[in-house]
Amino acid sequence: MGAEWLCQQAAAQLKISDLLQKKCGFDEQECKLALTQIVSRAVYPGSELKTQNWIQDNSAISLLNGIEPATISRHQLYASALKLYEHKEAIEKHLNKTTDDIFNFTDTICLYDLTNFYFEGRKVNSEMAQFGRSKEKRSDCKLIVLALVVNAEGFVKISKLYKGNMADCATMQEIIKLCGGSHPNRDKDKKQIVALDAGIATKENLKWLRDNGYEYICVSRTKLKNYTLASTDPVIITDNRDRPIDLNLVKEPDENGDRYLYVRSQHKAYKEISMDTRASQKLEQELTDLNEGLSKPGTTKKYDSILTRVGRIKERHKAVSGLYTITVHQHNQKATKVAWEHIKQQQREQGYGVYFLQTSLQGKDEKTLWKLYNTLTEIEATFRILKTDLQIRPIFHKKDQSTEAHLFLAIIAYSLVATIRYQLKLKGIHDNWQEIVRKMNTQKLVTTSMKNDKHQTIIIQQPSEPQTDAKLLYDSLNFKPKPWVTKKFVLTQKQHQTPQTSRQSNSP
C-alpha cells in the first residue's frame, strides 16, 4: 500500500477529487473509481484487465478510496477513462492552476516537443493511427503523435494528439496558441521564452514566434560556415558527467537579429568520428568490391552501369560520400578501374562535435543561454517517464476514442509523479520513479481475520510501519506515513459471504 498511499496524498494535494465532483459532474462513486484508476496507472501501469486483477489481488488502493475490490471490473475502468477524457480541458486547466499556486510557478520558460507511440494491430478503421517516422524505430507499425508543452520544472501544461503522419513543425503554432495569455505570477514586462528542438524550429515557426511576442532558443537547423567567434578563449563548462563543452558567442547576428552560440562537445566529437569511421569503412568496402568485380568474368563492365552503381553507393552512404572524390576510369565505354581519394579531412575534423544554438534573446551570456536551452531535458524526461515508467506504449486499443483516453489517463497519472518528484528534488532526493515505487512497496497492509464464539468474523487491517527509505520519502514530502492506525470489521456468517460489512470501527 505504500506507493498507493503516496500517490493518494499527491492526488489530494492537487485537489483532483474536488475537481471531479464540483466541476466535472462525477458522483461520489465515480470519483472514487477515477482516483483508484489514476493512482493504479501511476503505480502499476497495465491494461484494464491487468489493472482489475492488480486492484483485487495485490493492492490496497481501492480500500484507500473506500471501494470494495471485488466490485471493480475492467468495463468500469474503460468507462471511467473515457469519462475523464471528456473533461480533458477542465482537468488540464485545473492541474495547471493548482501546481502554479502550490509551487509558485511563473512559467517564464515553456518547452515544446513531440513524440510518437506505435500500435499493435492493423488499426484498419482508425483515423489517428497512420504510418510515419517512428522515433522508436518502429516504422513498421502505425503511429500516433503526442505534442506536449512542459514548463521548466517538468509539469505538463498542454497536451494534444495528432495523426501519426503529422510533421513536427506543422503543430507548433496551434499548441502555443493554446498556451497563450498572461500568467498571473509572471512579470508582464518579460516575454515568455519558448525552447524548441531543431525539427520544429523552421523559419516560418520562428517568424511566427517573433510576430506574436515570444522569445525563443533552439538548435540551428543549419551549421554556420562563415562566422567569427566573439572571443579567442571559449567558456568551458561540463555536462552532468563532467565532460567538457566549449561555448562561444558568434559575433554576427543574422538578418532577423538572432544570435548564435557556438557549442563544441568533445564527447559528441568522439561519437561523430566513430560513426563516420564506420560509414567510411562500409563505403570503401563497397567501392573495393565494385573495383575488383571489373577484373572478374561475368560481371557488368559497362561504363554507364558502373557510374550508376557508384551513385547508389554514394546515396547509401551520403553522410560521408562528400568526403571522397570517386573516379571511374574507362576505355571504349568499358569501365577499367574505380578509384577514390579522401578529401576535406582537416575541415571535417574541425567540425566534429560542433553545433549552434539560435536565439532571439539579447544580452545573455554563454552560460545563461546554455542553461536555458538545457531545460529541454525536462520534456525529454517527461517522455521517458510516460514511455518507460508509465508504459503507455505499445498501444493495443482499437478505437481512437479509447486510445485518446488511454494516453490522457497516463498524463493525469504523470501529474502525480511530477508533483512527488519535484518536491523530492527540492529536498535533494533525485530517485527515478521506479526506484520511488520500489522503496514505497515495502510498506504493506496487514489483514488479520478470526472468529469469535458468536460465529462472527473479525477482520483487522493495519498498515505496516514504513521502512527507513519510505519514511524518508514521507517526511520529505510532509505526507502522513499511514492512512489509519487500525481498522476493525465485524461480519456475521451471512455477511461474510458477501462483500458488505455490517459494522466498522477505527481505532485511534
> Which of the residue ranges 67-81, 231-245, 413-427 would you say has the lowest mean pLDDT?
231-245
- The verdict on 60 and 204 lying in the same domain is no
Residue 222 has pLDDT above 90, yes or no: no
- The verdict on 216 and 172 lying in the same domain is yes
- The verdict on 154 and 47 lying in the same domain is no
The predicted model gives 427-450 an average pLDDT of 94
- The verdict on 367 and 236 lying in the same domain is yes
Which residue range forms the structural domain that includes residue 315?
269-348
Helices and strands: H and E segment counts in the chain: 19, 15
pLDDT at 427: 95
Residues constituting the chain: 508
**Angle CA(146)–CA(151)–CA(152) in degrees, nearest 5?**
125
| pLDDT tens digit sequence for 334-358 | 999 999 988 766 556 667 888 899 9
Band (497; pLDDT cuts 50, 70, 90): low
pLDDT at 184: 57
- The verdict on 403 and 470 lying in the same domain is no
- 202 domain-assigned: yes
Cβ burial 352-368 (10 Å sphere, 16+ → b, else e): bbbbbbbbbeeebebee
| pLDDT tens digit sequence for 297-334 | 888 889 999 999 999 999 999 888 888 899 999 988 89
The predicted model gives 409-421 an average pLDDT of 95
Residue 267 has pLDDT above 70, yes or no: yes
Q: Following DSSP, what letter does each residue of 232-296 receive, concatenated?
A: SS-EEEE-TT--EEEEEEBS---TT--EEEEEEEHHHHHHHHHHHHHHHHHHHHHHHHHHHHTTS
C-beta of residue 291 within 8 angstroms of C-beta of residue 338: yes
- The verdict on 110 and 250 lying in the same domain is yes
- 449 domain-assigned: yes
> Which of the residue ranges 178-192, 214-228, 270-284 would you say has the lowest mean pLDDT?
178-192
**Residue type (1 letter), 476:** S
- 144 domain-assigned: yes
- 99 domain-assigned: no
- The verdict on 416 and 474 lying in the same domain is no
- 355 domain-assigned: no
- Nearest residue to 20 via CA among 10, 9, 7, 30: 30
- The verdict on 50 and 191 lying in the same domain is no
pLDDT at 129: 86
Band (429; pLDDT cuts 50, 70, 90): very high
- Find the radius of gyration of the CA atoms of the chain: 29
pLDDT at 502: 37
- The verdict on 139 and 253 lying in the same domain is yes
- From the number of C-beta atoms within 10 Å of its C-beta (0-12, 13-18, 19+), residue 218 rates as buried
pLDDT at 495: 57
- 455 domain-assigned: yes
Secondary structure class of 359 (helix, strand, coil): strand
- 151 domain-assigned: yes
pLDDT at 91: 95
- The verdict on 175 and 314 lying in the same domain is no
C-beta of residue 142 within 8 angstroms of C-beta of residue 118: yes
- 264 domain-assigned: no
CA distance 5 to 449: 23
- The verdict on 307 and 369 lying in the same domain is no
- The verdict on 240 and 129 lying in the same domain is yes
Residue 223 has pLDDT above 90, yes or no: no
pLDDT at 344: 64
For helices 433-440 and 2-13, the axis angle rounded to 10 degrees is 120
Residue with more model confidence, 466 or 240: 466
Q: Report how many domains make up the chain.
A: 4
